[in-house]
């Protein structure tokens, strides 16, 4: 099954994302960027849903590390953010994200479409 | 290629003063009631009653701790710590349609990032009030009892 990594420090948001992805993808959850990065270096996920605001290493810092890593730079990363001001889109794309999803999540179909496009539709049957 | 997925639009702050006084307050209260109901319906669509109750349990137990972390950060004059705590509360409040709480937490976050600790202090007392109201609503709405929290 296609692996989606969720890097999100809020337990309730992790629950929500798992519920949305349940049965469609295998979900690996991480509370922080450092533990996620260590895991990705052992086995890269198909796509990462990455909270921007994390304790310690931020989401932006993590995506920059991924883009500098030859083994991980190909992994698509979706920013999860409560920031949705004008110019944020360009900020996240410039930082290395492939897409972003604003929180609170109100439309799961848009999130799933984003994951489908970034993983070339590699859902479980 | 950049893809965007929608988030919830903002709504006027509940309890805001206006030229129509109590009538405005009642209308804004009704707006937030709708937001809360829609939020619960949305969460049920995502993961059924189980998801709603599991998220609500986390909310009623974690949020006071996050608020406490904000106060501790404030006392230590740790603006970034206060901003982070407020950010986490904003996210969770918004997911349950608690618009007033989410907006106040956003204001705390902004004040903290501007190093306006006096502003943070004032706003956190408002956050405390809205959080108490939000928790009480969730507990009533979902009939959470002490054994479940």
Q: What is the pLDDT of residue A14?
A: 96
ipTM: 0.85
Longest dimension (CA), chain A: 38
Please judge whether B47 and A19 are an interchain contact, meaning their C-beta atoms are less than 8 angstroms apart: yes
Name the residue among B43, B47, B91 with its Cβ closest to that of A103.
Answer: B91
Helix (H) or strand (E) holding B9: none
Residue A114 near residue A101, CB atoms below 8 Å: yes
Residues of A with CB under 8 A from a CB of B: 9-13, 15-16, 19-20, 22, 53, 55, 78, 82, 84, 89, 92-93, 97-108, 110-111, 113-114, 117-118
User: Taking the alpha carbons of B123, B127, B130, B133 in that order, is the dihedral positive or negative?
Assistant: negative
Distances (CA, A) of A70 to A93, A117, B32: 19, 22, 48
Burial class (CB in 10 A: 0-12, 13-18, 19+), A112: middle
Q: Which residues of chain B have pLDDT under 70?
A: 1-28, 145-149
Q: B101-112: per-residue pLDDT in tens?
A: 999 999 999 999
pLDDT at residue number B7: 45
| Residue B142: per-residue pLDDT | 86
pLDDT of residue A121: 57
Is A55 in contact with B3 (Cβ distance < 8 A)?
no
Residues in chain B: 149
Question: Which residues does chain B have within 8 Å of residue A100's beta carbon, measured at their own beta carbons?
Answer: 2-5
* Whole-number pLDDT of residue A91: 83
Contact B4 A108 (CB under 8 A): no
The confidence score (pLDDT) of residue B145 equals: 59
User: Are B5 and A110 within 8 A, CB to CB?
Assistant: yes
- Quote the minimal CA–CA distance from A3 to chain B in Å: 20
**Per-position b or e across B42-80, b if 16+ CB within 10 A of its CB:** bbeebbeeebbbbbbbbbbebbeebbebbbebbeeebbe
- Hey, are the CB atoms on B2 and A106 less than 8 Å from each other? no
| Cis peptide preceding A79, ω within 30 of 0 | no
| pLDDT above 60 (res A88) | yes
Please give the pLDDT value at position A123.
53
Chain A within 8 Å of B73 (Cβ-Cβ)? Answer: no
């Amino acid at each position: 099954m296609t692996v989606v990594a969720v890097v999100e420090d809020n337990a309730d948001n992790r629950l929500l994302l798992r519920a949305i992805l349940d049965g469609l993808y295998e979900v690996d959850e991480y509370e922080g960027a450092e533990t996620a990065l260590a895991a990705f270096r052992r086995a890269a996920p198909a796509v990462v849903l990455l909270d921007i605001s994390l304790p310690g290493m931020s989401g932006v810092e993590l995506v920059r590390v991924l883009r500098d890593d030859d083994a991980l730079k190909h992994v698509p990363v979706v920013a999860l953010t409560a920031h949705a001001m004008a110019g944020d889109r360009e900020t996240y794309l410039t930082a290395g994200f492939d897409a972003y999803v604003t929180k609170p999540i109100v439309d799961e179909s848009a999130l799933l479409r984003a994951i489908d496009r970034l993983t070339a539709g590699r859902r479980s049957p | 290629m950049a893809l965007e997925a929608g988030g919830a639009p903002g709504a006027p702050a509940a309890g805001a003063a206006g030229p129509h006084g109590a009538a405005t307050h009642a209308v804004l209260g009704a707006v937030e009631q709708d937001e809360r109901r829609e939020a619960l319906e949305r969460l049920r669509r995502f993961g059924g009653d189980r998801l709603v109750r599991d998220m609500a349990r986390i909310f009623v137990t974690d949020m006071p701790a996050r608020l406490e972390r904000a106060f501790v950060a404030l006392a230590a004059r740790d603006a970034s710590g206060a901003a982070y705590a407020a950010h986490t509360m904003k996210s969770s409040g918004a997911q349950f349609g608690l618009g007033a709480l989410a907006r106040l937490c956003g204001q705390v976050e902004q004040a903290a990032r501007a190093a306006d600790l006096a502003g943070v202090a004032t706003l956190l007392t408002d956050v405390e009030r809205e959080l108490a109201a939000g928790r009480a609503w969730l507990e009533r709405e979902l009939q959470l009892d002490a054994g479940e929290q």
